[in-house]
Amino acid sequence: MRRFLKKKHTLTIALIVITLVLSGCSIVYQEQEVESYIVDTSELLASGYSFDKVSVRRFLEVEELYSVDDEQELALLVLKNFEKGELNTRYISDNELSLQRVYLFVETLLYDSYYLQAGVMQYGDVFQSNKQEVRFIDVVLDENLLKSNHQYATYIISDLAMNQQPARKQVKEIHDYIVLNTKYDEALLDLDISAYQNHPSFTPYGVYHHNVAVCSGYARAFMQLTRMMDIPSIMVSSQNMNHAWNMVYVDNEWKFLDVTWNDPIPNVQDRVLYTYYLLDYNEFVAKGHHFFDLASENTLSIEEVIDFANYAFALKP
Give the pLDDT score at 187: 83
Give the pLDDT score at 130: 56
List of the chain residues with pLDDT < 70 = 1-31, 58-60, 123-131, 190-197
Tens of pLDDT, residues 27-74: 445 567 789 999 999 999 999 999 999 988 766 677 889 999 999 999
Give the pLDDT score at 104: 96
Q: What is the DSSP string of 118-156?
A: EEEEEEEETT-SS-EEEEEEEEE--HHHHHHHHHHHHHH
Sorted by where each begins, the domain ranges of the chain are: 12-140, 143-312
Give the pLDDT score at 188: 79
Tell the burial category of 159 from Cβ atoms under 10 Å away from its Cβ (0-12, 13-18, 19+).
exposed
Give the pLDDT score at 129: 56
Give the pLDDT score at 5: 44
Fold of 143-312: C8orf32 fold (3.10.620)
Give the pLDDT score at 62: 78
